[in-house]
Amino acid sequence: MVRSMSLLWMMVVFWWLVAADDMLYKDRNQPVAARVKDLLGRMTMEEKIGQMVQIERISATPDIMRHYFIGSLLSGGGSVPNPHATVVDWVNMVNEFQNGSLSTRLGIPMIYGIDAVHGHNNVINATIFPHNIGLGATRQVKGFSAATAAEVRATGIPYAFAPCIAVCRDPRWGRCYESYSEDTDIVQSMTDIILGLQGEIPKGSRLGVPYVAGKNKVAACAKHFVADGGTTHGIDENNTVTNEHELLSIHMPPYYDSIIKGVSTVMVSYSSLNGQRMHANGDLITGYLKDKLNFKGFVISDWEGIDRITSPPHSNYTYSVLASISAGIDMVMVPNNYIEFINDLTFLVKNKFIPMDRIDDAVSRILRVKFTMGLFENPLADFSMVNEVGSQEHREIAREAVRKSLVLLKNGKTADDPMLPLPKMSSKVLVAGSHADNLGYQCGGWTIGWQGFSGNENTTGTTILNGIKSAVDPNTEISYMEDPNPEFIKSNNFSYAIVVVGEHPYTEMFGDSSNLTIADPGPNIITNVCGNVKCVVVIISGRPVVVEPYMSVIDALIAAWLPGTEGQGVADVLFGDHGFTGKLSRTWFRTVDQLPMNIGDAHYDPLFPFGFGLTTTSVTERSISGGISRRPLVLVILVSVFITLGLSHRYVA
């Protein structure tokens, strides 16, 4: 009897140990490394390969997530649950897919990614911040990125494909506005966006290990590795020709900072480096990023990025799979032909073209990020943060970012006769230009749709025109006409004019430009208006554009970049509620024939140099300092004496 009880007790203990061991990867109190090792040891090859796949939400269903063990989903530009999706719609959609993943044998949650590159820009009514080129002019980024993280997480999404840390060396590149600067030091400093998105890394954390602070933060993605901002003639996805010194001193340093700051993922560039496609560059992806820089997060491809290894794309897909995975890419953004990818990768592993160790490395990295960010503990989103999207607090942060991003390039025909700040009280003011009352134009690409939009109907915000109307005195008459003729201008006796023109929205290769001109009818508007009334010109653009031909007629010139939804921030500075503080993060060329031209070049002859920006004080600051300085010193002393005598007399009495 005693022996039987002992055997029974041993069986119970053994069962308990097995059960405890079975739950090891689900135990949040275990070290991440132990959880990864435990889960990896339980996975079949099919489950491992599934984790390496990221597909577009349009191609996914909960059953597909379950059947193919898909590790990740994404929304491409403009890919939404429905055309008028609310925050609740987003949460419900993500959770529906997640439930498919959780119903698999091991219950590994998927990670959902999205291009939140200047706010949660796919989502209606979200706060849209200035694009990176504008943020580079502020030299500040943390408040913006923390607000973005909150809005992204509010929709149930835990992964943002940001920041872009390209060092754009040629403004002809259609993605130049996604770069903070032509200057490596500025781009390095702006990697603080990672701390805003993911949270401040704890003291003593191991360098290179991904870190996400919790349910209110998102995994970040440093992109596009590497040298995408240096392509020949600024052509998107083109070849960057450089030597090792330039690569390591100009393009690579922002990745050092990103890794130190705990970035979770790195996305590979479409571009080539000295003729080799980056998606197949094992020397840099594995040899440098993973081995030398000791990056422990996962490396993800760009959209159909491995297809572009061959020319034409997808012409030898099995080779593309072999080359990209062997080079060190861990997760592949397929995004539609996932069955082909899975079949090809399975074939390559089974036939030992790709060793199982390479698959285990990739999956370990993916699982490490998922464990680190708490995805196993909190795989499903709730509705507790829905009010974060487009909140007034975030709009105020964006408005401040707009104010600080504006760069004042000219202020008056002479230094002794400044035009700005503008008086709020005037009899009649003309506002002109195609960009003055167009929310889509002032937001630029990557807004609601992939290529952006035109008009004021697609989301919520304040146009520059409405910001002006709110800023001026109620008795000031604002007259808006997009393209006024000279006769109209002359006959209305305007006090001054504000002209808002620039580029139309674009994204990626659709923005490549060899002429960098202001979109028609912008040049004619500048000439007609500024030739007939005192004017300030506000340029809305993703980069410096041709302005030298118009400088003689312009009284004041402002680079407003792509400010986003909070156009009131432009009016705040125009009328002196706040001063101009922004500094050029890019060289402003005279003619496109000078390009590429960057600070430090031997033949540096810009219209406005890197770092240039006139400053002004706010009306309040000016009135205080100016009021005191205009009083004669003797008068001040006399008044002080009389007051003192008076006070003494009263005290004695």
- Give the closest residue to 220 by CA, choosing from 207, 233, 211: 211
Burial 220-258 (b: 16+ CB within 10 A, else e): bbbbbbbbbbbbeebbbbbbbebeeeebeebbbbbbebb
Instruction: Transcribe 424-490 into DSSP letters.
Output: S--SEEEEESTTTT-HHHHH-SSBSBTT---SSSSS--B-HHHHHHHHS-TTSEEEEESS--HHHHH
Task: Please pick, among 508, 512, 555, 572, the residue that the annotation labels catalytic.
Answer: 508
In sequence order, what are the residues at sequence separation of 6 or more whose Cβ sits closer than 8 angstroms to the Cβ of residue 140?
Answer: 401, 404
Report the C-alpha gap between 254 and 276 in whole angstroms: 21
Please give the sequence-ordered ranges of beta strands (E in DSSP) within 69-141, or none if there are none. 72-75, 111-114
Sheet holding 276-277, edge to edge: 239-240, 272-273, 276-277
The one-letter amino acid at 124: I
For residue 393, indicate whether it is catalytic: no
CB 150 within 8 A of CB 395: no
Report the C-alpha gap between 225 and 229 in whole angstroms: 10
Residue with tokens 């900072």: 257
Q: Facing residues of 332 across strands? A: 53
For residue 621, indicate whether it is catalytic: no
Report the C-alpha gap between 38 and 302 in whole angstroms: 30
Please give the sequence-ordered ranges of beta strands (E in DSSP) within 218-341, or none if there are none. 221-225, 239-240, 265-268, 272-273, 276-277, 298-300, 332-333
Return the SS3 of 12: helix
Pairing of strands 496-502, 556-561: unpaired
Element (H, E) at 536: strand 535-540
- Give the closest residue to 165 by CA, choosing from 125, 202, 117, 130: 117
Q: Facing residues of 299 across strands? A: 266
What is the number of other CB atoms lying within 10 angstroms of the CB of residue 596?
Answer: 18
In sequence order, what are the residues at sequence separation of 6 or more whose Cβ sits closer than 8 angstroms to the Cβ of residue 651?
Answer: none
Quick one: CA dihedral 579, 581, 582, 584, positive or negative? Answer: positive
Task: Please pick, among 302, 400, 437, 512, the residue that the annotation labels catalytic.
Answer: 302
What is the number of other CB atoms lying within 10 angstroms of the CB of residue 604?
Answer: 13
Give burial (CB, 10 Å; 0-12/13-18/19+) of 169.
buried
Please give the sequence-ordered ranges of beta strands (E in DSSP) within 272-406, or none if there are none. 272-273, 276-277, 298-300, 332-333
Whether the link from the prior residue into 163 is cis, omega within 30° of 0, is yes
Active site residues: 302, 508
